[in-house]
Structure 1
Amino acid sequence: MDTLENAPDQPERYCGAFLSVLPVAGAAVSTIGHVLGSETIAASDSQAARIDEIQFDLGEGPCWDAMRSATPVLEPAVGTAGRERWPAFAQSIVPDGVNSVFAFPLAIGPLRFGAVDLYSRIPVSLSDTQAHQAEAMAEIVSRHVLRRALASIGDDANEPVSAFSRRLIHQATGVVLAQVDISADDARLMIQGQAFAAGRPMMEVAQDIIDGRLRFIRAAGRIEVAL
């Protein structure tokens, strides 16, 4: 716990703190929703980052539920019970061999802005003691994340870009907005729909939009994709 307290400006150490005390294989820390945007701040491995990205793209999963409810989400059997809660998410992580997922909200007071995601390839459950410990650690991470976000306001040009940055999607949203003159929310939804239809991650589709390989146009009163 002290190690986590003393690492406010070292996001790469956030995940390790959870892995050192909990029976999980991977962890990710992410902001979600409109308060700070959707961004993976840190991930212990590529699989943890992929699990986060799938949830961003689909708009469902344990991190969303934890953020919206401001309470932990504990699902030791995502392959069975998880299919009822998050059908698209549970189906999407089948190739990853993930059996258990847990999410703890990032929140300060009434402000909800993210979650810590944990996963295990083997079926595991967290004891009450472990769950309370993870909650306490998530509270520490919440303070670190919010302080970093507030400190970076007005200094985006100098802010280090995470290896898991979602800025591509923000940039692509602006491009689509300019191409077909729709709201930012609708532009992002179009990118999400295109990614879903093509079976690709949103960031890949966003890169195609930014590079000009994929464009949206208005034709006969409808919005179409121009490849």
Structure 2
Amino acid sequence: MSARGGGNGVVDGGRHRRLLRQVTERAQRRGFPGWAGLVCDVAVTELAVDAAAITLRTSARAQELAAASGQCARRLEEIQYTVGVGPGVEAFDMGSPVLMADLAEAHQRWPGFEDAAVADGVSAVFAFPLLGGAVQVGVLDLYRRRPGELSADQLADAAVLADLATTALLTDAAPHATAGRTWDDLPGHYDDVNVATGVLAAELQISVENAFLRLRAHAFSTGQAVLDVAHAVLSHQFDVDAFQD
């Protein structure tokens, strides 16, 4: 991964070099699991948060979990996808950071997400949109168990890490970055959701957007992940009538 910025604006050169060095040193020590995963590791350590995730987003239906620091981050990213709201969704939609220092004060800003995050012991969430030039490509989400704001230094570091996360996504997307890995090995692969949505749309003779909303609603009402419901649809474990109004 080169030292060039990913498009999130002007960043502190010294800070950028320091954090990039942290990422590359981890790559040398641990082998190469992918740049996005290394950026998540550095975010957890340098920002004193408990979990981090980098997610590719292009629309409400198009999402790929590029990397996560652990199960908590993976689960909360999946919940955001399932309920359609959350700090990452909002940061992507607004094109600006979302900083929630205390989820107890969110007052149902993100119905469905807040309760799940609190149940996982998360008290504060911070989301940063990832910009590739003028195009938003995803989100860096940070989760912390104790409430409180990020310090000025931590915010500056987070801005740099968002820049590095953008570069990581573009670098990991290069053919050499996934050599030896199959598509199914990639974390959080949601292509099956798109296929299942198309199947429902065709079977029910409704729009793709409507089909996706029904898929998501079924997942939420039954306490399942959207991806699991999609797999069930594709393996014919569901009668499509279950998705009728």
TM-score range, shorter chain: 0.7 to 0.9
Which one is further off, 50-59 or 137-146?
137-146
* Alpha carbons 1:36, 1:113 under 8 Å: kept: no
User: Residue 212 of structure 1 aligns with which residue?
Assistant: 236
1:70-81 matched pairs, under 5 angstroms: 70-80=95-105
Q: Deviations over 1:54-101 (max 9, x none)?
A: 111111111012112222211110122x23422331123232111011
User: Residue 46 of structure 1 aligns with which residue?
Assistant: 71
CA distance in 1, matches of 2:238, 2:126: 36
Q: Deviations over 1:116-150 (max 9, x none)?
A: 11111122321112111111111121122135447
1:164-183 matched pairs, under 5 angstroms: 164-183=188-207
Q: Deviations over 1:181-207 (max 9, x none)?
A: 322222211101111222222122112
CA distance in 2, matches of 1:149, 1:180: 35
1:133-152 matched pairs, under 5 angstroms: 133-149=157-173
CA distance in 2, matches of 1:185, 1:150: 30
Number of matched pairs: 217
- TM-score, scaled to structure 1: 0.83
Shift in alpha-carbon separation, 1:196–1:160, aligned structure 2, 3 A: closer
Q: Structure 1 stretches (4+) deviating beyond 6 angstroms?
A: 5-8
CA distance in 1, matches of 2:22, 2:117: 31
What's the C-alpha RMSD, in Å, of the aligned pairs?
A: 2.8
Higher percent of residues as strand:
1
User: Residue 92 of structure 2 aligns with which residue?
Assistant: 67
User: Residue 4 of structure 1 aligns with which residue?
Assistant: 23
User: Residue 115 of structure 1 aligns with which residue?
Assistant: 139
* Alpha carbons 1:26, 1:45 under 8 Å: kept: yes
Unaligned ranges ≥5, structure 1: none
Question: What secondary structure is seen at the aligned counterpart in 2 of 1:123?
Answer: coil
User: Residue 224 of structure 1 aligns with which residue?
Assistant: 244
CA distance in 1, matches of 2:226, 2:61: 19
CA distance in 2, matches of 1:35, 1:186: 12
Percent of aligned pairs sharing the same letter: 30
* Alpha carbons 1:4, 1:140 under 8 Å: kept: no
* Alpha carbons 2:127, 2:142 under 8 Å: kept: yes
- Residue type of the partner of 1:125? E
CA distance in 1, matches of 2:61, 2:162: 17
Which one is further off, 13-22 or 141-150?
141-150
User: Residue 23 of structure 1 aligns with which residue?
Assistant: 48
- Residue type of the partner of 1:224? Q
Question: What secondary structure is seen at the aligned counterpart in 2 of 1:85?
Answer: coil
* Alpha carbons 1:67, 1:115 under 8 Å: kept: yes
1:184 aligns with 2:203: no
- TM-score, scaled to structure 2: 0.78
